[in-house]
Structure 1
Amino acid sequence: MKQVFRQTVVLRFLLCLIMGTALVLGSAGCSAIQPPETSTPSERPSYNTSTGFFVVGKTLYDAEGAEFLMRGVNANHWWNNGETVDMDSIPYIRLSGANTVRCVFGKRGSADEFEDPEGIRFTTAERRAVVAEYVRWHVVPVVEFHNATGSNDPAKIAEAVNFWIGENSWLSEFEKYAIVNISNEWCNMGTDGAGFDGSAELWRDTYIDAVAALRAAGIRNTLVIDSIQWGQVIIDASYYMAVFNSDPQKNIVFSFHMYDGWVTPGDPQYTDGLDYYHVDTGLDFLTTQLDAPVISGEFNHQAAPAGCPDDILLSQLESHGVGWLAWMWYNSSGHYQYIVYDSADSSMPYAVFGQTVVPFLARAQEATVFTTALPALPAAPPALSPDPDWNPGGLSIRMFDVSDDNPWWLQIEMDNVEETAGNINRVEMEPAGSTDRITLGTWGQNDGRQNFVSNTELHDYIAANVRFWLYCYDGSVARTEFNTLVQGNAFVIDATY
């Protein structure tokens, strides 16, 4: 979230204290504004004929030859509800400090899966308008195709390729600024829901074909390619480099989505391998074994409590010189994923996730490609104000698939789930007689119940005496009384706490 120097924000910059990889953030959210760095520009290789971003070795450069490290967010321009909410958020994304945004795009499927199409950018003209608005606010747009998520069908990547070829009118127009993420999270190990088998070889070969088709169609933008298995898994470096070297432009960045499979450095529960990576050793591998740039295109510990906490993950990304894009600015499917609390109003305070992410955006450097004046920035979000008397209402437990195959899930039924559940950032479960608490990250709502996913298997806690701690997005805390963790039991808020 890149911002250029303006006298109106110098005071906010001075109020931010940068220490190592962390930045002390005031309750209102304070982000430094960094102008483009001045250094000797890198020369574009002769084989790269683009007028936009380009790659040399492990480094991404902007069109002027300045080194560019992405620091930003994902923003929803596809399924979010509201006629203009996604466009209205752009100035606030810029205000936060982001120098890059990953624009979630898609197309209407064969069935009309959206009841309310307002605010959903279905047309080429609408998507062009989104990109133009980011450019106006000096934010680099990484445009992404979401329809192929989770599929192993090569036809879905062909669909993505055709989608981008159809967008080439504005991709060429904004070649200087825009980067293309071919598809979100295509290809997984095993068999997908449609019966297609996935493999590292399929991922490699399909993307080689996709890159060739895009280049043949005249799309010269830098390409971003998500890794295999929901973007989370590292495969042998040779697969990535085969795709990279197939590109006549040599202009590809590889993206890794860092959720539950990316765990805290030194965590003894996990061994580095196909399913899990300690963040430090995983990044060591990517930054030494791949002769191409890498980024973390998604991460969110609120949605994946078993993974590495966001502050530690961000510190590791920074120390490894790896760009990153937090998931996400807002998301109508769950408040836990928000940078800002309310998707309908980006001037709201930063949610807990935002309070972690925004300080790291203070390091973002603006790309040197923007020539127009930056519009006046909006006012900073207001300070959070915890409520000492917050009472989210009574809880009752409904066990949800706590099985050997899926032991991490729990549902909590609340008296006022529709009004309150979205306010909850996380829940901690405290067994009686233990000082250790189990973190439960919120995972959307279902039939009046709030879903939670834990960072620990829950088998041993069924029928135990426990209580819950509930944390509101604004910092308010409530605690229940102790009760037995069994189906249907009620947990009353402890009014004496």
Structure 2
Amino acid sequence: MRRLLTAIVTAIVAFVAAVLVSASPANAAVGLHISGRDIVEANGQKFIMRGVNHEHVWFTGQTGSFANIKAKGANTVRVVLGSGKRWGPSTDVPNIITLCKQNKLICVLEVHDTTGYGEDGAAATLDEAVNYWISQKANLVGQESYVVINIGNEPIGNTNPGQWTAATVAAIQKLRTNGFEHLLMVDAPNWGQDWQYVMRDNAQTVLDADSKHNTVLSIHMYDVFNTATAITDYLNRFQTNGWPLVIGEFGWQRSSSNVDDQTLIAEANARGLGYLGWSWAGNNDPYLDMTNNFDASQLTTWGLRIFNGPNGITATAKEATIYGGTSSPSPSASASPSRSASPSPSASPSRSASPSPSASPSRSASPSPGGRTCTAVYTITNSWPGGFQAEVKVTAGASAITGWTANWTYANGQAVTQFWSATVTSSGAAVTARNVSYNGSLAAGTSTSFGFLGSSTGTNSVPAVTCTAS
């Protein structure tokens, strides 16, 4: 009898153990990982990257940039490193990770030496980039909740971009074989812009090569994506196929030949895609720098657009839950630039109060008379004590227009303090906004938007707007 009872107990224990083992996933998630087409944290909460690139390898002394980028509202920073083939080697990875964690930023680390391989003779291979990551393994293991490994920046140029698929598959598999469990990010060929669609057409092959199923694809959008159609068509392909994607670099539409950044960030926001603009500073080029000489109080036009524009970082970024974040940063910390006529009283973003939710009222104007007409819709997109953010959408009438002017008059003492994507002037309560060079020409029925920050002293009613076209 005792033997029978012992055998029964042994069988029950074995059955329970088998059930527990079968209930555990074969590849349990470690830190940031892919779920469907989304990036999620270890706790399953979706994380959408909203941030910028920082040229650390060339400006290693600019460590204050991490805090400044966070203060503007970002939740992610993509950090440029060197493997030693062209730049670096970057041996300060532990310090970089510490700076990211201190400032509650998710840290995307990338090797820049691979840029344009095959076309640029000085570039490193993806395999050489992997060797760098292996050399840094001790600094990276255990940081999977905070660090994404972007294997190599724009790893293939325009010469034989088809080699990208095999090289990327090999790089992913070599990292997994060496024990890396991090979320991996892979850039497209064609200098990141994939205009020959190698990444798009081979995405499934690359994703399937990852034994951890933990890879996100990254597209860099510059002049190849200068129209809304080019952007939406590309993004649609990835969404339809359920492939995870982030926009790892992009600039702004200074002229009609440049990337349509407003469509890009609007589409990213609507689709739940992450984006990382290039870059905080260091290019000495107003097309690429968000600040003047790393000065967070001197945002360029590009900086104003990506941080404070509609669908920008301030309005849409949410801090990773690993840092305790659940809501977007306060406009008093990041939406009110220090050049504003009415700056926020709080200098510390971590102590700023969250803004009061806006009811987002809007009013539209009747078309202006004449053969060429336009309408304008004024919408308050966010508000907080003493200030607000607004957007005006201008739409051409039945005929194409080559320019537009929007006018309104405030009734409650409001004032425009900063603006982007328009030239705005004020005379007392009267405000006039005119198109800039890249958004004046609109086809019949098409729209463009401009935005601004304003100060208010209490009531903030929406004014009537008139629009005239040329």
What's the TM-score, normalizing by structure 2? 0.60
The alignment covers a number of residue pairs equal to 310
Give the whole-Å Cα distance in 2 for the aligned partners of 1:203 and 1:261. Answer: 19
How big is the shift at 1:304? 7.2
Whether the 8 Å contact between 2:283 and 2:289 is mirrored in structure 1 is no
Provide the secondary structure at the position in 2 that maps to 1:183: coil
Tell me the secondary structure at the aligned position of residue 102 of structure 1: strand
In structure 1, the residue matched to 2:235 is: 283
CA-to-aligned-CA distance 1:110-155 (integer Å, 9 cap, x gap) = 7xx7xxxxxxx6442x222011111111100000000010003896
In the aligned structure 1, how far is the partner of 2:24 from the partner of 2:80? 30
- In the aligned structure 1, how far is the partner of 2:271 from the partner of 2:402? 34
Out of 292, 301, 305, the residue aligned to residue 352 of structure 1 is: 301
Verify the 8 A CA contact 2:279 2:288 in the aligned structure 1: yes
CA distance in 1, matches of 2:261, 2:147: 27
Instruction: Map residues 239-318 of structure 1 onto 2, 5 A cutoff.
Output: 239-265=202-228, 278-289=230-241, 291-301=242-252, 305-318=256-269
Instruction: Indicate the residue corresponding to 1:105 in structure 2.
Output: 81
Report the equivalent of 1:176.
145
Give yes or no for contact 1:260–1:304 (8 Å, CA) kept in 2: no
Q: Distance in 1 between matches of 2:164 and 2:51?
A: 27
Structure 1 pair 45–322 and aligned structure 2 pair: CA distance change class (3 A): farther
Query: Per the alignment, do residues 335 and 263 of structure 1 end up closer, same or farther by CA in structure 2, a change over 3 Å counting?
Result: closer
Indicate the SS of the match to 2:291: coil
Aligned residue identity for 2:219: F
What is aligned with 1:472?
none
Cα separation, 1, equivalents of 2:255 and 2:84: 29
Query: Hey, what does 1:54 align to over in structure 2?
Result: 33
**Letter aligned with residue 280 of structure 1:** T
Does the 8 Å contact 2:56/2:79 carry over to 1? yes
Q: What one-letter code is carried by the residue in structure 2 that aligns with 1:294?
A: L
Change (3 A) 1:285 1:371: closer
Q: Is the 8 A contact 1:106 1:147 kept in 2?
A: yes
What code does the residue aligned with 1:165 have?
A: I
Paired residue type of 1:64: N
Aligned to 1:224, what secondary structure does the other structure show?
Answer: strand
Asked if 2 retains the 8 angstrom alpha-carbon contact of 1:69 and 1:364, the reply is: yes
Within 1, Cα distance between the matches of 2:50 and 2:172?
Answer: 25
Could you tell me how far apart the structure 2 residues matched to 1:326 and 1:231 are?
13
For 2:246, what is the secondary structure of its paired residue?
Answer: strand
Q: Per-residue deviation at 1:84?
A: 2.4
Q: Call closer, same or farther: CA 1:242–1:281 in 2, change over 3 Å.
A: same
Offset of residue 230 of structure 1 = 1.1
Matches of 2:28 and 2:98, distance apart in 1: 23
Query: Does the aligned pair in 2 maintain the 1:47–1:249 contact within 8 Å?
Result: no
- Aligned counterparts of 1:333 and 1:292: Cα–Cα separation in 2: 35
Local SS of the residue matching 2:323 = coil
Measured in 2, the distance between the counterparts of 1:58 and 1:164 equals 25
Does the CA-based 8 Å contact 1:303-1:337 persist in structure 2? no
1:392-426 per-residue CA deviation (whole Å, 9 max, x = no partner) reads xxxxxxxxxxxxxxxxxxxxxxxxxxxxxxxxxxx
Number of the residue aligned with 1:166: 135
CA contact (8 A) 1:329 1:338 kept: yes
What is the alpha-carbon distance in structure 2 between the residues aligned to residue 296 and residue 304 of structure 1? 20
Q: What amino acid does structure 2 have at the position aligned with 1:356?
A: R
Q: Cα 1:99–1:151, aligned 2, differ >3 Å: closer, same or farther?
A: same
In the alignment, structure 2 segments of 5+ residues that lack a partner are 1-22, 326-331, 342-400, 404-436, 439-470
In the alignment, is residue 199 of structure 1 matched against residue 178 of structure 2? no
Aligned AA (2:50): R
The one-letter amino acid paired with 2:282 is N
**Aligned partners of 2:116 and 2:158 also within 8 Å:** no
Task: Supply the distance in 2 between the matched residues of 1:254 and 1:66 (Cα, whole angstroms).
Answer: 20
Aligned partner of residue 284 in structure 1, secondary structure: helix
Deviation at 1:171, TM superposition (A): 1.0
Instruction: Give the match for residue 96 of structure 1.
Output: 72
The counterpart of 1:74, out of the listed 27, 38, 53, is 53
Between the aligned partners of 1:259 and 1:299, the Cα distance in structure 2 is 6
Alignment counterpart, residue 111 of structure 2, candidates 139, 145, 152: 145
Change (3 A) 1:166 1:139: same
Kindly state the Cα deviation for residue 302 of structure 1 after the two structures are TM-superposed.
Answer: 5.3
* 3-state DSSP of counterpart to 1:353: helix
Deviation at 1:89, TM superposition (A): 1.1
Match of 1:341 in 2: 292
Conserved in 1, the CA contact under 8 Å of 2:186 and 2:218?
Answer: yes
Work out the CA distance in 1 between the residues paired with 2:283 and 2:224. 25
**Number of the residue aligned with 2:61:** 84
Instruction: Judge conservation of contact 2:117–2:124 (CA < 8 Å) in 1.
Output: no
The answer on whether the counterparts of 2:84 and 2:90 sit within 8 Å (CA) in structure 1 is no
User: Partners of 1:238 and 1:46 in 2: how far apart?
Assistant: 30
Aligned to 1:217: 178
Question: SS at 1:205's partner residue?
Answer: helix
Structure 1 portions without partners, runs of 5+ = 1-43, 114-120, 191-197, 267-277, 386-433, 437-453, 456-497
Equivalent-residue separation in structure 2 for 1:123 and 1:103 (angstroms):
11
**1-structure distance, mates of 2:199, 2:152:** 21
Deviations 1:158-198 (A, max 9, x none): 110001011111111312210000000011333xxxxxxx2
Paired with 1:169 and 1:303, the residues of 2 have a C-alpha distance of 43
* TM superposition shift of 1:381: 4.1
Residue 384 of structure 1: CA displacement? 5.6
SS in 2 for 1:186: coil
TM-score by length of 1: 0.57
1:73-114 CA distances to partner (integer Å, 9 max, x unpaired)? 11111113xx622x111111111111111111113447xx7x
Whether the aligned pair in 2 keeps the contact of 1:77 and 1:104 (CA below 8 Å) is: yes
Amino acid at match of 2:236: D
